Amino acid sequence: MTESALAEVVGVTRTYGGIPVLDDVSLSIGSGITAVVGPNGSGKSTLLGVLAGAVEPTAGAVRYAHGGGGGADTGKRIGYLPQGVPLRGELTARETLGFYAALVGDEPDAALADVGLADAGDRRVSALSGGMRRLLGVAQATLGEPAVAVLDEPTSGLDPEMRERTFRAAATRASDDTAVVVSSHDLDLVDAYADDLVVLDRGRVAAAGARDRLLIDHGVDDVESLYRVVVGDGSGAESDGETGGTDGDRGVAHTDETASESLHVTGVSDR
């Protein structure tokens, strides 16, 4: 494990019905924002699930600098915001964060303020807009300074202003000790906020590394151009926030195979 890495994905393969949806993926995750991009069905959610400990790799492993995968040295948790935000409508925003904060020795008010919800603390989750719920989810997943906070397409379905607010909130919650890994089809926001990039294509890493380095290496000016160079015409990337169809694009049947053996999350997967 390199000194600056907060997590390392080592030779991870995940198959469904014998078909690999992640194929020998190795990555080093450092502090700041790592954006995972790629066409529909390229394996982004599966990779994020593996990072969060919600999906068991068929082969390979994830190693955490702070022992987040379990064991006596588990000082740092893994935060996880799955695609469907698993929050209870009858609780207020502050009660929601208070519940999770108590589990990880944090307090809710700074997190609410960080994501721009300081004035919405007493509102019930059911009365928040979809975008505000997503911001609350970002706060929830980053409580207690987890080593890695995993945010799965937090901007899908949001309007442009809320998409930007969500990325800004994620950037505010990232720190030297917390890597925020976010999957997204919003290449313009990825361009503006990502420190590091992972481009997935058909379950394999097509490019990975520091955003600035990758742009120089590929002789392009922005992430959208990089995406086109690396995976083709960018048909899986969108700038309007919707992700389109997700399943069956690689002919893989759903079997609901998930694992929770090493799950240390501040949220609950709904997958």
Ligand X SMILES: Nc1ncnc2c1ncn2[C@@H]1O[C@H](COP(=O)(O)OP(=O)(O)OP(=O)(O)O)[C@@H](O)[C@H]1O
Backbone angles phi and psi of 80, in degrees to 5:
-145, 125
269 interacts with ligand X by CB under 6 A: no
Residue 157: CB minimum distance to ligand X, A: 12
Binding flags for ligand X, 249-268, as an x/- string (CB under 6 A) = xx-xxxxxx-----------
CB closer to ligand X out of 90 and 256:
256
> Cα–Cα distance between 81 and 235 in angstroms, integer?
25
The answer to whether residue 204 forms part of the interface with ligand X (CB under 6 A) is: no
The rounded distance, in Å, linking the Cα atoms of 11 and 25 is 5
Give SS3 for 82. coil
Helix then strand count (H, E) for the chain reads 8, 9
CB of 96 or CB of 156, closer to ligand X = 156
Taking CB under 6 A as the binding criterion, the range among 42-50, 67-75, 164-172, 216-224 that sits at the site for ligand X is 42-50
Q: 142, 166, 243, 262: which one contacts ligand X (CB under 6 A)?
A: 243
Strand partners of residue 79: 149
Residue placing its CB nearer to ligand X in the complex, 21 or 87: 21
- Packed helices 130-141 and 93-104: angle between N→C axes, nearest 10 degrees: 10
46 binds ligand X (CB under 6 A): yes
E strand or H helix that includes residue 37: strand 32-37
Extract the tokens encoding 164. 């930007």
Site string for ligand X, 2-41 (x = CB under 6 A): --------------x----x----------------x-xx
Nearest to 234 by CA among 246, 225, 222, 245: 225
Nearest to ligand X of 3, 261 (CB atom): 261
Spatial distance between the Cα atoms of 182 and 202, rounded to a whole number of angstroms: 18
Our finding on whether 192 is near ligand X (CB under 6 A) is no
Q: For residue 83, what are the CA distances in angstroms to 14, 137, 227, 246?
A: 19, 10, 23, 12
Query: Is residue 109 near ligand X by the rule CB under 6 A?
Result: no
Q: Mask 71-90, x = binds ligand X (CB under 6 A)?
A: --------------------
Q: How far is the CB of 81 from ligand X (least distance, A)?
A: 14
**Cβ atoms of residues 196 and 34 within 8 Å:** yes
Which stretch, 56-64, 131-139, 170-178, 247-255, contacts ligand X (CB under 6 A)? 247-255
Cα-flanking dihedrals φ and ψ of residue 166, to 5°? -65, -45
In angstroms, the Cα distances linking 29 to 57, 141, 158, 176, 251 are 17, 17, 27, 12, 30
User: 50 vs 115, which CB is nearer to ligand X?
Assistant: 50
Nearer residue to ligand X within complex by CB, 161 or 254: 254
**Which residues are at the interface with ligand X (CB under 6 A)?**
16, 21, 38, 40-46, 243, 246-247, 249-250, 252-257
